[in-house]
Amino acid sequence: MPTNIDGFADHNTKSYARELAQPSAAAGIAPLLDTLRQLIHDARNRALRAVDVLQVQTCWQVGRHIVEFEQGGAARAAYGKRLLPLLAEQLTQEFGAGFDASNLRYMRQFYQAFPICDALRHELSWTHYRLLSKVENEDARLWYMTEAAEQNWSTRALQRQIGTMFYERLLLSQDKAAVAAEAGSNLAALEQTPRAFVRDPVMLEFLGLPSAGKLLESDLEQGLMDKLQAFLLELGKGFAFVARQQRISTESKDFYIDLVFYNYLLKCFVLIDLKSGELTHQDIGQMDMYVRMYDELRRSEGDNPTVGILLCESKDQSVVRYSVLNGSEQLFASRYKLVLPTEEELRSELAREAYLIRQAMKADADEND
């Protein structure tokens, strides 16, 4: 009877893994594991720091070239407000969303706020400098930069210190130790978590990694997004795919919309956001904010108001909710509902696909056991 070599090897591998899982075996390799963890942790930190330095330098240089071009005389000044959108149109096609008009504006502002490249602190990331560039007072800006570098402030910590006017309060206070102690206690309350290289969307955009947004989703969410995208396109009701994990930005924060479509029958954008678990008021508020921001930042003349679709998937019950701005309810009821899928259609599709994906994931797990 022939021997199943593959099965024999697989059985031996599993047996060896079970032996390693025993307490005595685990204790024996504990020092080696600690060494390897530290090695990997240090290597990732060095890689992250190296990319940080290159990203900051590149953004500064991009800003410098834009400013110098704008100051190059009447012929160049004629581009005016059209310059950044024109540049962004080409650069995003070649290098991704990290060089859209919003980011180019940040880079120009960065150069104007820090015109001397050698004065920059290499300990800080591009996100640090985006925050610092908005500080109008030059003395305060340089002080925050120095403190952030020397005190190893995270971007959240820097944002907190700027927002509470730490520099100004410290300058005016007679009891500087008390102000510093208060600021320290505020920072201590912030969650201290290591910055994840593969989950930093700003870093991923700069590196131009393919499908960067997909790294932010779980396997289930990824699968559901694939199915929902195909479902809407196959409806044949005017849906055209625009983007996935599309970034929209406020002055201090970036947001990522799971799916963006344009419906050419309704002449409006359709935003889709998928959440896991029960629907919360925060989820509803966030989608309403997306719709409002999209109308302000992306909607063109002639487009109808943007509509949002919030999908909450859970094992117990799937929830679908449409979101439109105040004043657009009549338009939604009279026109949009004739074209868009109903909440029940979306809910059924979401529940069905979630079930199928879970079954497939379970089958894969059982096969690998």
Q: pLDDT digits over 21-79, tens only?
A: 455 566 778 888 889 988 988 887 788 788 888 999 999 999 999 999 988 766 676 77
Q: Which residues contact 49 (CB under 8 A, 6 or more apart)?
A: none
Tokens of 77: 């000044």
For the chain, residues classed under CATH 3.40.1350 are 217-368
Residue 160 has pLDDT above 50, yes or no: yes
Q: How far apart are CA 215 and CA 211, in angstroms?
A: 7
Q: Tell whether the model's pLDDT for residue 8 goes beyond 70.
A: no
Q: CA 200, CA 62: separation in Å to the nearest integer?
A: 21
Cα–Cα dist 326/328, whole Å:
6
pLDDT at 282 over 50: yes
Tens-digit pLDDT profile for residues 173-184: 666 676 566 656
| Range 315-329 average pLDDT | 66
Tokens representing residue 161 in the block: 């210190």
Which residue type occupies 94? E
* Residues 192-214, mean pLDDT to the nearest whole number: 52
Q: How far apart are CA 275 and CA 277, in angstroms?
A: 7
pLDDT tens per residue, range 98-132:
888 888 999 999 999 999 999 999 989 998 999 99
Is the Cβ–Cβ distance between 58 and 117 less than 8 Å? no
8-state DSSP, 315:
S
Q: Which of 177-181, 186-190, 286-290 has the highest mean pLDDT?
A: 286-290
Q: Answer yes or no: are the C-beta atoms of 117 and 60 closer than 8 Å.
A: yes
pLDDT of residue 257: 87
CATH class for the region spanning 217-368: alpha beta
Higher pLDDT, 108 or 169: 108
User: In terms of residues, how long is the chain?
Assistant: 369
Q: What is the pLDDT of residue 13?
A: 45
